[in-house]
Amino acid sequence: MLDYFALGVLFFVGIVLFYGIIVLHDIPYEIAVHRNHPHQDAIHAAGWVSLFTLHALWPFLWIWAMLYREDRGWGFDHGKSGAAQDADLAKQLAELRQRIEQLEGSTSAARNEKED
């Protein structure tokens, strides 16, 4: 009876280890999915390759998955949030349009003077 119990524990531990390793290798992919990473599929495929290299690639995949965030891209924050950057760009665009209108007005006035 004890032999069957030991055999059952052995199978249970083997199955838990097998699925535990698979879940472990999927952590970078899950991070990439959560962050809406543009290279999700590549990270997932590299995670499977990492299984055959005894998880030697796994730390690099984790870093790769952590580098990207949807709100700030690849992690380079220039001190402004997305909304503040959009507001600055809109302000610059308005200034450029105003400058173009001024230049067009001055050139049309110059043409009118030449014609007269």
CB 39 within 8 A of CB 64: yes
Q: Is 57 helix (H, G, I), strand (E, B) or coil?
A: coil
CB 43 within 8 A of CB 64: yes
CB 8 within 8 A of CB 38: no
Share of the chain above pLDDT 70, in %: 92
User: Rounded to an integer, what is the distance from CA 60 to the centroid of its chain?
Assistant: 15
Of the listed ranges 38-47, 75-84, 107-116, the least confidently predicted one is 75-84
Higher pLDDT, 116 or 51: 51
Q: How confident is the model at residue 1 (pLDDT cuts 50, 70, 90)?
A: confident
Return the domain boundaries, the chain. Answer: 1-77, 78-116
Q: How confident is the model at residue 116 (pLDDT cuts 50, 70, 90)?
A: low
Average pLDDT over residues 92-97: 94
How many CA atoms within 13 Å lie on the side-chain side of 37? Answer: 24
pLDDT (tens digit, 9 = 90+) per residue, 3-48?
Answer: 999 999 999 999 999 999 889 889 999 999 999 999 999 999 999 9
**Rg for the chain, CA atoms, rounded:** 30
Predicted local confidence at residue 78, as pLDDT: 58
Predicted local confidence at residue 86, as pLDDT: 82
